[in-house]
Structure 1
Amino acid sequence: MNLTFKQLEAFFFSARLQSFSAAAVKLHTTQSAISKRLAELEDVLGAPVLHRKSKGLELTPVGRRLLPLAEETLRLRLRIETELSVDQTLEGTFRIGVTELIALTWLTGFIKRLQELHPKLILEPVVDAGLHLFQSLESHKIDLAIMPGVYWGKQFTTVKVAQVEDLWMASPSLKMPRRALKPEEFALYPVLEQSTGAAKNKFYEAWLAQHGFKFNKVFATNSTTVLRELTISGFGISQMALEYMQPDIDKGLLRIVRSDPMPPPMVYSAVYHSDNFSPAMDRVVQLAIASCDFSRRSGIHEKGAAA
């Protein structure tokens, strides 16, 4: 049996993307080249690995057995190329999506460090709400998204980058009780939140429903700059990242509103397609983990931050 990496690549990406043309784009080749490699692979195996269906390509029984082995082989090849290469410098273009909180805290330091380590790598950052970033990730418009959430589907690899305390806050002018509020008591006060599109809403949705939180008067905005200023001005209660908002608390502009129970920490994860075999991916993710710091930078960033 004489299998080649090119044959396994053609099979793996055709199966994952359910399209010969999409696999050709992914591998920077032609559809005829993909078809030729698959025909060669099937000759070697003596059986078909993919069937054409109306909704795309479908794995045969032999293809289902081969798929995890092909993935393991391609990952091992990538590891060999990455770890044993004399030149460890990454190059090319890498598209990363981040939320506004990241953009206003550790993104700049992360980019500087990445440029120092890999000057040939061109980073294209995109700042948007988490759910919009995921849509861009699904459509392959970006390579990696860092946003709240712990699971985005079996087609995606999710790596925990950090977690932040995301607590209820309000202006002292609201004269909120000092005791912990029960979930149903939140209906007595105006609540400010981020509008649809924020991954934070999805992250806390099940938890809020589980504990019966009630919000009758809700003001939503897609800008946490506005959210922060409205909260400081006494328009209502909002849920914001403690590390970033600590300076406002220290100045007496905001105070933490306790609840029973308190919100769990919000987990930020690096999310990417599981079939994205890129030498840059692991290093970029690991550098993100090492770089993340959600605290406000010495007066540089005085605006809000979206999750």
Structure 2
Amino acid sequence: MWTYKQLEAVYWIHRLGGFAAAAEHLHTTQSAISRRVRELEEQVDTSLFDRTARAAQLTEKGQELVVLAGQLLAQRDAALEQFLQNHVVQRRVRIGVTELTAMTWLSQWVTRIQRHYPKLELIPHVDTSVALHRELLHERLDLVVVPDAFSDAGVVTTPLTAVANVWAAKPGLVPQGKLLEPTELTQYRRIVQGDRSGSGIYYARWLQKYDLHAKAEFETSNLLALIGLLNVGVGIGYLPRQCLEPFFRQGYLEEIALTDPLPPMHYVALQNANHASGVISSIAALAQECCDYSSLFQHGGKAASVSHLNLLG
């Protein structure tokens, strides 16, 4: 009789392209994965992988079995989610967030998930939006929170909220008291978030409209690095306004007023449509409930003070 572990081994070898990747995904050893494949091949009395190929390549029968394995595994997960209460659901869920989410409401979200699913093994991963999106499509992450900068038919989207971004600089670098035309920003060194960043992709059209992207002199996808570069007067850049209000209020940064300000950046939670599930959808709904980019390092309804964070040394 086949086991789910055997089916998972073949399925994830195919999805991830190799025995080692499948072993890492299933949190086991490569030898264990190989053993499960051999046992399954003995039971079905046929080879599932072409051993003459350098990469893990399915035989014709192997391709048929992978389709069946995907259906059986999906049915198993759906049955477990339907009949198990939240407090007894046991599975591993890998969520991905950007630096901004990690610096604001991630703690609130994790706390709420753990309250709803106390036996869930939650694995958070922080990276750039582009990297998170790629990992989601490769099924190495179950759910990611990123700017709404990606268009894929293969994902399920849950809208979250919008974040206001502004251009800013070290106080005194840009004359205050008047609205600047966006084209006037070309007078200053500009630090932008490049195409590895969701916000960089999101605002690319606005930057191109005023020919600012092509003439940008610095790129960074790191928010803390951007704050530091702006604070020492390297140039001007755009960043989220509300959660960084203490930096403006205490004189670390100064907003640059424009005749055409940046549009709000919308955030979404994405899950892979091939593996959409009730638990993942529920976790996305929890993100909707606690998504809040208004203050830094929220925990228990409180936000940390910038004077205590000492982020700028």
**Fold equivalence (TM over 0.5):** yes
- Pairing 1:283–2:282 present: yes
Contact 1:186-1:215 within 8 A present in 2 as well: no
Q: Distance in 2 between matches of 1:221 and 1:301?
A: 25
Where does 1:1-307 land on structure 2 (aligned, <5 Å)? 82=81, 85-86=84-85, 89-173=88-172, 174-176=174-176, 178-182=178-182, 184-210=183-209, 212-213=211-212, 216-252=215-251, 253-260=253-260, 262-297=261-296, 300=304, 302=306
What is the number of equivalent residue pairs in this alignment?
297
User: Per-residue deviation at 1:208?
Assistant: 2.6
AA aligned to 2:205 is: A
Structure 2 gap segments, 5+ residues each: 1-11, 27-32, 34-66, 297-301
AA aligned to 1:284 is: I
Contact 2:162-2:267 within 8 A present in 1 as well: yes
Secondary structure of the corresponding residue to residue 294 of structure 2: coil
Q: Distance in 2 between matches of 1:96 and 1:84?
A: 24
User: Per-residue deviation at 1:233?
Assistant: 2.6
Secondary structure of the corresponding residue to residue 161 of structure 2: strand
Contact 2:86-2:116 within 8 A present in 1 as well: no
- What's the counterpart of residue 5 of structure 2? none
Q: Distance in 2 between matches of 1:176 and 1:214?
A: 23
Q: Distance in 1 between matches of 2:213 and 2:84?
A: 57
Secondary structure of the corresponding residue to residue 119 of structure 1: coil
- What's the counterpart of residue 43 of structure 1? none
Query: What is the TM-score normalised by the length of structure 1?
Result: 0.70
Q: Distance in 2 between matches of 1:180 and 1:78?
A: 55
User: Per-residue deviation at 1:82?
Assistant: 4.0
Q: Distance in 1 between matches of 2:86 and 2:156?
A: 27
Deviations 1:284-307 (A, max 9, x none): 1011111111122467374799xx
AA aligned to 2:215 is: N
Does the C-alpha gap of structure 1 residues 212 and 220 become closer, same or farther in structure 2, counting only changes over 3 Å?
closer
Secondary structure of the corresponding residue to residue 243 of structure 2: helix
Query: What is the TM-score normalised by the length of structure 2?
Result: 0.68
Deviations 1:169-221 (A, max 9, x none): 22221325621323x22211111123441111111112332454466352222
AA aligned to 1:181 is: E
Structure 1 gap segments, 5+ residues each: 1-12, 31-66
Does the C-alpha gap of structure 1 residues 270 and 217 become closer, same or farther in structure 2, counting only changes over 3 Å?
closer
